[in-house]
Structure 1
């Protein structure tokens, strides 16, 4: 009898062990790390984890905050030692390096198996996190670019506010009318300190490109790229409607805009909190879509949630990533003041700041193109910036700067 009970006990333990093993394979009873860099989102992320645990109570998520200036240094070191967090934030400039070195997990099969609908996400944002024909992230949020303008200055000049019918010629005409040398007011700021928010957009809207889709060719030998740069450059050097590069190095274009010395500027949605907290801009400015050139276009950038390729908890990590990009999670982000990537959930975000026409940034997402990246983005991005600055100060023509950029960029891309 005792022998029979012993055999039965062993069988029961075996069944329980098998159940436990299967549960682990399904992603249950797991602990995963989730790395991020923005402390301002900490409470929102805690709320997301709490909501996730309502469906998956046996998956514990440990949040791991690292300031941005240390974030990728820490990740690089962790990758070398096979110690990456299970799930972590990824951005465009660093994505290809991680994907090409097999540090993050492709997710196409999981998307297919779980029938994840990608239609609600901006196409440009999905494209940002694709490499060698594979997808590596589900989008979290995004930034697009709009035309910010000073309503008070437009009113003083008796001009109609910018709208979605504006062309580049309309923008130039208004900038000329708004420029008042005696008052030190400029119609627009053709700054270059933030490529994503400035000249990248005139290149794209002019049908040029920064880097080819296959990441192998520079676009700076394309006449349309050069022309898109030239039009932006000429706002300073031909039309005199923008502060000079030297002036904007001393006092930023944003500071001039916030003090009523610049009437218009291209700027990203990530500036909303700053313009909302500034008493002058909160009362006097608004935003609309960028003007049409050969087309209306702009750079889209946003964060993606990725899974470490060496994670021991990939099933649990996938469940969490899938939740983070769900409609529910997107709605929670919107309510926290972040543009969610999931179409149809941004209403709360728009309504949170009725002082500005935030719908413009959602409209720009529909005509967006991915932030230009490759394996070594920082190397050629620095070359672009350095030579554009020389063109803006008059040391080089736009054509000369573009020729140098193209040659150096092609050399870098050939060695990636």
Structure 2
């Protein structure tokens, strides 16, 4: 009888334990808190990614049953760590990753699909620009969503235009004419530094106005050449700017960061840069504006092309699907992140919206940021799908940088510049 009592007690204890395990779901702890491990590409998220950190903080306030465990590492270490974790199938629940590696993880079947999330949140789907979705989709499956938008173009110093009686250009002819006036008055038209060859963002958008995205697939397939007539014409326009004295005399020995200082010092009319330099420019006191760059009469297709492209994606581990509570928490986080509240938090911290959601900006506090967002929402303008250098192998992207700065420096003719890239395309086959 005593043995039976002990056995009955043991069975009751086991049943209570099992019931307790089944009631919480997944990794929820005793307090009913579901934890999301979120790995990001900076060592100190609070200092280095304040907008993102504040968004996560607000999400946790509104969802006290969810804890977001931020795991921050410097980008190179972060990427290496994610690759190592993927080998043992122990990826973080949510993580930032470089585009090429993200595609590899998708091909390896290690990511949770986000089609259901997109389908169940039509307001988010409808608010996201098309390229924000298509960039991280394959075979009809959404495998990632952009961490942030990447916005690039030309900042300009309004005071210098007014001082020298120059109107903000619209066409390449206008820009060449403006360059001649600025040159005569000892002002650099476009601050640039060839020591950092990647610093050609606005010039890559100009390339899109010569039909880059209509041609690049055929070029990579060997059906068309990079040194085609349209692209050579594009390089000829850069050469016209060089001949008009548009670039710094020391462009070949100057870095991008020195070019930024040149603009901040009031010595250049334009700066080829992006959203990340807005705080510096606003703090400098310069009355600045933002411009998408010139249109071209001999360009190909739509000339009203902007550059609001997806940054590296956020991905979800396939393992999250195995934990109902965790999956629900992750999808709730994404709904907040890409919804109106998340977008507004990012905007308040000077991260441009990747959606068409209406946002509130303190223009008195952040005048340049307000102008940039206004440009993003210009009617009749369409963003290029991505940066031209990001849709080809790295070696070809580097050749594109070299070709552009080669013309700016006067070391390549337009024909030679286009051939430099074609030679690199041929090498990759």
| TM over 0.5, shorter chain | yes
RMSD (CA atoms): 3.7
User: Within 5 A, what are the aligned runs for 1:144-293?
Assistant: 144-162=151-169, 166-180=170-184, 184-189=186-191, 193-195=197-199, 197-209=201-213, 212=216, 216-217=220-221, 220-236=226-242, 238-244=243-249, 245-249=251-255, 252-278=258-284, 282-293=285-296
Question: Residue 353 of structure 1: CA displacement?
Answer: 0.6
**Structure 1 counterpart SS, 2:150:** coil
> Residue 305 of structure 1 aligns with which residue?
314
Question: Residue 368 of structure 1: CA displacement?
Answer: 1.0
Q: Is the 8 A contact 1:97 1:374 kept in 2?
A: no
Match 1:342 to one of 333, 345, 355: 355
**Structure 2 counterpart SS, 1:406:** helix
The answer as to 2:401 corresponding to 1:385 is yes
> Residue 335 of structure 2 aligns with which residue?
322
Question: Residue 204 of structure 1: CA displacement?
Answer: 0.7
Q: Deviations over 1:274-296 (max 9, x none)?
A: 21232xxx234332343323402
Q: Deviations over 1:50-95 (max 9, x none)?
A: 4333554333210111123433233233333333321122454654
> Residue 362 of structure 1 aligns with which residue?
376
**Structure 2 counterpart SS, 1:220:** coil
Counterparts of 2:319 and 2:414 in 1: how far apart (Å)?
Answer: 46
Counterparts of 1:249 and 1:386 in 2: how far apart (Å)?
Answer: 14
Counterparts of 2:341 and 2:362 in 1: how far apart (Å)?
Answer: 14
Size of the aligned set, in residue pairs, is 401
Q: TM-score, normalised on structure 2?
A: 0.78
Q: Is the 8 A contact 1:208 1:223 kept in 2?
A: no
Q: Which of 210-219 and 330-339 deviates more? A: 210-219
Question: Residue 384 of structure 1: CA displacement?
Answer: 2.7
Counterparts of 1:168 and 1:148 in 2: how far apart (Å)?
Answer: 16
**Structure 2 counterpart SS, 1:184:** coil
Match 1:49 to one of 49, 56, 62: 56
**Structure 1 counterpart SS, 2:247:** coil
**Structure 2 unaligned regions, length at least 5:** none
Q: Is the 8 A contact 1:200 1:210 kept in 2?
A: no
Match 2:148 to one of 137, 141, 158: 141
Question: Residue 179 of structure 1: CA displacement?
Answer: 1.6
**Structure 2 counterpart SS, 1:176:** helix
Counterparts of 2:415 and 2:139 in 1: how far apart (Å)?
Answer: 32
Counterparts of 1:335 and 1:9 in 2: how far apart (Å)?
Answer: 53
**Structure 1 counterpart SS, 2:160:** helix
Question: Residue 239 of structure 1: CA displacement?
Answer: 2.4
Q: Specify whether residues 83 and 379 from structure 1 end up closer, same or farther in structure 2 by C-alpha distance, changes over 3 A only.
A: farther
Question: Residue 118 of structure 1: CA displacement?
Answer: 1.2
Q: Is the 8 A contact 2:97 2:315 kept in 1?
A: yes
Q: Is the 8 A contact 2:189 2:247 kept in 1?
A: yes
Q: Specify whether residues 14 and 353 from structure 1 end up closer, same or farther in structure 2 by C-alpha distance, changes over 3 A only.
A: same
Q: Is the 8 A contact 1:87 1:321 kept in 2?
A: no
Q: TM-score, normalised on structure 1?
A: 0.80
Counterparts of 1:121 and 1:49 in 2: how far apart (Å)?
Answer: 20
> Residue 115 of structure 2 aligns with which residue?
108
Q: Which of 326-335 and 113-122 deviates more? A: 113-122
Q: Is the 8 A contact 2:79 2:98 kept in 1?
A: no
Q: Deviations over 1:93-146 (max 9, x none)?
A: 654344444443331233224546312112233233233443222334212233
Q: Deviations over 1:241-290 (max 9, x none)?
A: 32254254598432322222221233212210121232xxx234332343
Q: Is the 8 A contact 1:33 1:87 kept in 2?
A: yes
**Structure 2 counterpart SS, 1:243:** coil
**Structure 1 unaligned regions, length at least 5:** none
Q: Deviations over 1:367-407 (max 9, x none)?
A: 21112466874333223334444444444323223223224
Q: Specify whether residues 4 and 359 from structure 1 end up closer, same or farther in structure 2 by C-alpha distance, changes over 3 A only.
A: closer
